[in-house]
Structure 1
Amino acid sequence: MTSTLLWWLIAVQIAMGAFDTLYHHELTERLAWRPSQRGELRLHAVRNALYAALFLTLGFAEPRGWLAALTLTVLLAEVGITLADFVEEDLSRRLPASERINHTLLALNYGGILVLIVPILLIWAGEPTALPLTTHGAWSALAVSAALGVAVFGARDWLAAARSERLAEPSAVGLASALSPGRRILVTGGTGFVGRRLVAALVASGHKVTVLTREAPRAAALPAPHAVVTSLDQIPDDARFDAAVNLAGEPVADGLWTRARRRRILASRLRVTGDLRRLIARLDHRPAVVISASAVGWYGVRDDAALTEASAAGGGFTHRVCAAWEREAGRIDALGPRVVILRFGLVLAVEGGVLARFLTPFEFGLGGPVGDGRQWMSWITRDDLVRLIVHAIVEPSLAGPVNATAPNPVRNAEFARALGAALRRPARVPVPAWPLVRIGGDYARELLIGGQRVLPEAASAAGFRFLQPDLAPALIRLLGAKVRLAQDDPHVEARSLPSAP
């Protein structure tokens, strides 16, 4: 009875561990591609190696003597490693609620395993040293499968920890150097994917930054010094800002577009932008410029036409959101500030955005074009986007819509080939369009199998120089790939030249 119950608890531990690894570590948190998680990855690698040894031992042997004592030591060492892992996770990242619950259940279940197995091992430790082999039928097969799984992911985590130094972003110093010293900047959405890097750049250049965020604890991870508000109502009338950057809004691509989610996506943008307009209206000293985010979705799903700021609008949900957002931001113009509407393309960086979603399948050789691969992808690296935001602040000729995209958009098939090459993996597993549309509806039509060929005409005319205008070398640098670039490649020093023109 004890043996069967023990194996059932082990099976539950294996299932919960597999869920934690695949869903949290790989799909949602993407730990292998986050340089900040180097310590956590190493702990996972060591723990998985010990788990592999334990699964094989329990599945095919009954250790006696000092071998039983060694097995008991490994079981207890797992407790110590897990505790260290919990501390590392709390210090280095915010765990989602589902991961915390799963960890709690894993700890409780492991405690049940120890209660059942420790007395057996203590008895065996008192016997002469031996390693009699045995088998437990289907349980032994489960042990082999689990041992192989944790060994593979343990090796992956160790290698990922080793490469994390290559993935680390260059210093943000210089990204905001075009701004004259000591500027006062208000950033809404400063804890988001783009906002974090912008705040880091502004702080690194010595500017005074005030961050609006819904979750104040997330702002603790931003580089100091900075001020934090959770509502623009907290800012007094006599506050002084030289510029405001409006990035706040519910992420569009983080879930299917249910009716409730559509409402949240639109309402979040209009609410914060309206609050910003009301703040500027009551300030004694209004900012000279407001930079407000939008997206290339304003153009709708288009074919091969080259789209500039003068092009006509399209249709679809993303267009409706962007059009309403831009109208609300445009109302600020009547209050005096110069208003620049930046229409973001696909923002590329390892720790988030569209690139992060592709990394896991492509790294395992499961990547490829989406649909027929002919849809255009208008992209920009996150650092170039930060530099363009700063350029829009200081360049008086920029006003109204400005396309925030690199000058060389690519088709989806070319993106897949370039990403596969940067990862040294094949990219030949296409994702058919019909199941995506069947499941995702408009979400899939507009974001996955639709696209736009958008060109940054206004930014280029205003003298902005992209450090990463071409996709292939941009991906090589973002992914820390060990690929030797040609000596005449004009982008070879891009990572060390982050300053604005």
Structure 2
Amino acid sequence: MTTLLWLMTIQGVMGAFDTLYHHEFTERLPWKPQAGRELFIHGLRNLFYGLIFASLGGLSWGGVWAGVFAALLIAEIGLTLWDFVVEDQSRHLPPSERITHTLLAINYGLVLAFLAPELMRWETLPSGFHPHDYGLGSWIMYLFAAGVWGWAGFDLLRSRRFRKLTAVPSLHLDTPNQRVLITGGTGLIGSRLTQGLIDDGHQVTILTRDKAQAAKFRGPLTVIDHIDDLRAPVDLIINLAGESLSGGLWTRRRIARFYDSRLGITGALIDWIARQPVKPKRLINASAIGIYGRSETEIFDEASAPAAPDLATDLCTKWETLALTAQNHGVPVSLIRFGLVLSVDGGALAQMLFPFEFGIGGRLGSGRQWISWIHIDDAVGMVVHAANAGLDGTVNATAPVPVRNAGFTRALGRAMHRPVVLPLPGFVLKRLLGQMADILLLNGQQVLPARATHSGYRFRYPQIDAALNALFRGRM
């Protein structure tokens, strides 16, 4: 192959890596409403790229058409610059994606440098399109052309995914105009709570390390990055801060962050409460159903005792024990033990979407492990219900009908209109993910929301099919 085709091959490989690893797997752009414009640009740019690959593989643009091809190359640069601007406006790019984009830009510059003499040669040809053949090099270009054209159509269709979304259900605290402090207010559950409570007319303050994320909220909001910056009294504290358990491999450093991110901020909140002359009326503290341990046969509710210690039970037990010390200062505490929160915006479900969207999803391990799940709207609703109903102590935030993993994946396939044909063996997951696979994926428990049900909470989505269909309605 010529040097030009080698450079285009490198461009194609790096572009495929950027698309699959960053756009699809880690950043999950097709599932983020704010990424609609970026997906449209990607689709349009890939149409151009496909034409460039196909032409370099087997077609010379002669005469005046050489100028048209040059204009095409310049237009691709314009689309790339537009893409850079939109990306910086809509999301925070990880370092690996910025490096990849830089390498793509450098390599594309080399492509243009080596292509310039070829364009000058094309200009001397009679006007029209002239076939040429570089053997294997041509077929590699055709392969890349087919790939980027196919992905162009995919991205253009998915850029329309969020244009007709249903409104987010409103939240309502029975006591009006409350002063609410939310930690983890830019996270999965916190974001929905923050916006809902702002819309309900409350004075909301969020404690967050990422102030830039707070720009996404509509309405009056106070943002602080340290609890000591909070001077005014608070009526309600909702503590959701904590490193996500499903965000990556459980290295020693990440496990340490699981503890530090939860116990550190909770300890700081307790110290702040102790110093206040006017105490909050309630602390609502997040926890997780992992505290019950794992079983295929036992059914757990709030009266069940914590299981023998493993990482999940130890983490939850220490977190809850620390939060309960707020009672020593006269502040009632609600402990919300969340199950698997279903949302396409983040959490464990979001990590599953990549294989399922391409029709290669399936059950995990035996498929017999229980999944105690809850739709994001009910997860948020449960927090508000605990405040309104004055539920002290533990409250399970799970739907009333748990499902086994095999049933869950079949329901996910139905909601996404995709086959469920490729099971992932347990030993593979353990090899890839280690302790995370054993605790989060391959073992589960049936956890029932007894206190929420008995205190009158009405689930919006008690059944898995209705919950998943609501999440994917208009998006597939």
* C-alpha distance in 1 between matches for 2:286 and 2:361: 30
Match of residue 124 from structure 1: 122
SS at match of 1:372: coil
Match of residue 74 from structure 1: 72
Q: CA deviation at 1:366?
A: 0.5
User: Is the CA contact (8 Å cut-off) linking 1:422 and 1:481 kept in structure 2?
Assistant: no
Match of residue 469 from structure 1: 462
SS at match of 1:292: strand
* C-alpha distance in 2 between matches for 1:402 and 1:89: 40
In the alignment, structure 1 residue 170 sits paired with structure 2 residue 170: no
* C-alpha distance in 2 between matches for 1:136 and 1:169: 52
Larger CA deviation: 155-164 vs 446-455:
155-164
Q: Deviations over 1:309-328 (max 9, x none)?
A: 01121132111100110001
* C-alpha distance in 2 between matches for 1:270 and 1:34: 30
User: Is the CA contact (8 Å cut-off) linking 1:179 and 1:390 kept in structure 2?
Assistant: no
Match for residue 89 of structure 1 among 87, 97, 100:
87
TM-score normalized by the length of structure 1: 0.92
* C-alpha distance in 1 between matches for 2:442 and 2:157: 33
CA 1:332/1:317 → structure 2, altered by over 3 Å: closer, same or farther? same
TM-score normalized by the length of structure 2: 0.97
Unaligned runs of at least 5 residues, structure 1: 484-501
Show the 5 A alignment for 1:380-399: 380-396=374-390, 398-399=391-392
SS at match of 1:77: helix
* C-alpha distance in 2 between matches for 1:124 and 1:401: 74
Q: CA deviation at 1:481?
A: 5.0
Q: Deviations over 1:387-438 (max 9, x none)?
A: 1111111212x11111011111111011111010111111121110011123
Show the 5 A alignment for 1:245-264: 245-264=238-257
- The amino acid of 2:168's aligned partner reads S
Q: CA deviation at 1:63?
A: 1.6
Q: CA deviation at 1:126?
A: 4.5
Match of residue 303 from structure 1: 296
Give aligned-pair identity as a percent. 45
In the alignment, structure 1 residue 367 sits paired with structure 2 residue 361: yes
Q: CA RMSD in A?
A: 1.5
User: Is the CA contact (8 Å cut-off) linking 1:249 and 1:265 kept in structure 2?
Assistant: yes
Match of residue 52 from structure 2: 54
SS at match of 1:164: coil
Match for residue 202 of structure 1 among 193, 197, 206:
197
Q: CA deviation at 1:228?
A: 0.9
CA 1:20/1:395 → structure 2, altered by over 3 Å: closer, same or farther? same
Match for residue 314 of structure 1 among 288, 291, 307:
307
Q: CA deviation at 1:123?
A: 4.2
* C-alpha distance in 2 between matches for 1:137 and 1:457: 68
In the alignment, structure 1 residue 219 sits paired with structure 2 residue 214: yes
Larger CA deviation: 99-108 vs 123-132:
123-132
Match of residue 107 from structure 1: 105
SS at match of 2:108: helix
Q: Deviations over 1:136-163 (max 9, x none)?
A: 1222121111111111211111111222
Show the 5 A alignment for 1:151-170: 151-166=149-164, 168=165, 170=167
* C-alpha distance in 2 between matches for 1:412 and 1:306: 16
In the alignment, structure 1 residue 353 sits paired with structure 2 residue 347: yes
- The amino acid of 1:388's aligned partner reads M
Larger CA deviation: 288-297 vs 25-34:
25-34
Match of residue 372 from structure 2: 378
**Number of positions where the alignment pairs a residue of Structure 1 with one of Structure 2:** 475
In the alignment, structure 1 residue 424 sits paired with structure 2 residue 422: no
Match of residue 344 from structure 1: 338
Unaligned runs of at least 5 residues, structure 2: none
